[in-house]
Amino acid sequence: MQLKLLSHHILTPDVRSYSFVVDSDSPGAAFPFEAGQFVMLKQLEAEKKYARAFSFACAPTAHEITFLMKHNPDGHISGYLAQSEPGTKIDVSKPMGRFILNPADTDRVYIATGTGIAPIISFIESNSSVPATILFGVRTNSDLFWQEKLPANSLITLTQPTEEWSGCVGRVTAYVPDLLSKHPNAAWYICGNPEMVMEVRAQLLSAGAAPLNIHFEIY
């Protein structure tokens, strides 16, 4: 299966979004996936094939398939796509992963840092009727992106804000105790770097959250 690049947007100095459609020449061109899943994007370079994981950053019903990528100029996939023109085709695996919503949830808290917001966007754009609260962390004001896609009640926290920032300040972990007291029965969905995910998970477990209610994806 191949995806065809439609467009590419620079969201911050470090983060880009890429939108694709399934290449109509690919066999069985439909591409069903569940919100929260990921694919391996594959690129042949000097006769070696590189495959890297990227989560869907769109609802399964979206007309275009969007990924959010931390931009690495030397990256075999992110660097390659940054230099690619619309119309470029790229090999893609089948969708995979168990970081998906549990339909039995009655309340949800989503916690993400950086491009870890990708599967959370996939969740919220899937229009579940279960109430959800989002905690999103990045470093500085200029690292912020896609605020307009987040519900108005989302908590956005910066570790290194400028003076004009009036939102939350500090690491996402600073806001977990308050979320725990406001959402005692929530299912927790966490995505981002390994340190953040493990730290939040440990906070939740030590506060008595049920392991089955803690879902995470580590980048």
Ligand X SMILES: Cc1cc2nc3c(=O)[nH]c(=O)nc-3n(C[C@H](O)[C@H](O)[C@H](O)COP(=O)(O)OP(=O)(O)OC[C@H]3O[C@@H](n4cnc5c(N)ncnc54)[C@H](O)[C@@H]3O)c2cc1C
3-state SS, 104-124, equals CCCCEEEEEEHHHHHHHHHHH
What part of residues 11-50 is at the interface with ligand X (CB under 6 A)? Answer: 38
Among 3, 5, 58, 68, binds ligand X (CB under 6 A): 68
Residues in contact with ligand X, total (CB under 6 A)?
Answer: 21
Among 17, 55, 113, 122, binds ligand X (CB under 6 A): 55
Should residue 219 be labelled a site residue for ligand X when binding is judged by CB under 6 A?
yes
Should residue 98 be labelled a site residue for ligand X when binding is judged by CB under 6 A?
no
- Would you state the structure tokens that stand for residue 108, as one six-digit string? 């949800």
What part of residues 103-142 is at the interface with ligand X (CB under 6 A)? Answer: 115, 118
- Would you state the structure tokens that stand for residue 46, as one six-digit string? 């000097």
Provide the CA 79 distance to its chain's centre, in angstroms: 19
- The full length of the chain comes to 219
Cβ distance to ligand X smaller for residue 77 or 200: 77
The residue type of 52 is: R
Among 53, 82, 130, 150, binds ligand X (CB under 6 A): 53
Should residue 67 be labelled a site residue for ligand X when binding is judged by CB under 6 A?
yes
Should residue 54 be labelled a site residue for ligand X when binding is judged by CB under 6 A?
yes
Cβ atoms within 10 Å of 194's Cβ, excluding its own = 10
Place of tokens 């949830």: 105
Max CA-CA distance within the chain? 54
Give the residue among 175, 202, 204, 37 at the shortest CA–CA distance from 113: 175
Shortest spacing between CB 180 and ligand X, in angstroms: 26
* Number of residue whose CB is nearest ligand X: 75
Residues lying near ligand X in the complex (CB under 6 A) are found at: 38, 52-55, 67-70, 72, 74-79, 97, 115, 118, 217, 219
